Amino acid sequence: MRVARCQVCGVQLSRWALRFRNPARIAHYRNIHPDFVKWNGHFVRKLMASGLPLIVGVAFANYYLAQLYGLPRYLSLIFIPYFYIVVRAWRRDLARFRQDWTKSHPSDTLSQG
């Protein structure tokens, strides 16, 4: 059985602590890494602020291009590079957060093996 790991310190978590779940709902993150919960919330708000206008704009453009010109809805493909960019930004920012956390908690990472 595969066990989930903490994205910050690497500790094994319950199998229900999936990566895509909100860290604020997982006790380990709330108790041990409240700064990560706060950081994650900020990242998600920033993502929503940038992504929502893009999604709405593409949806309207798809609708009007299809209505006016009968064009297929190829603009939806713009979401593929957008999600790739979001995932890359998440991983980059998480690596920075993890590195900063490791520098400020050296004894915690050594004791976890």
How far is Cα of residue 99 from the mean position of the Cα atoms in its chain? 17
The three-state secondary structure class of 89 is helix
DSSP code of 21? S
Q: For 69-87, what is the mean pLDDT?
A: 74
Please, are residues 5 and 13 in contact by the beta-carbon 8 Å criterion?
yes
Q: How confident is the model at residue 111 (pLDDT cuts 50, 70, 90)?
A: very low
Q: How confident is the model at residue 113 (pLDDT cuts 50, 70, 90)?
A: very low
Say what percent of the chain tops pLDDT 90: 4
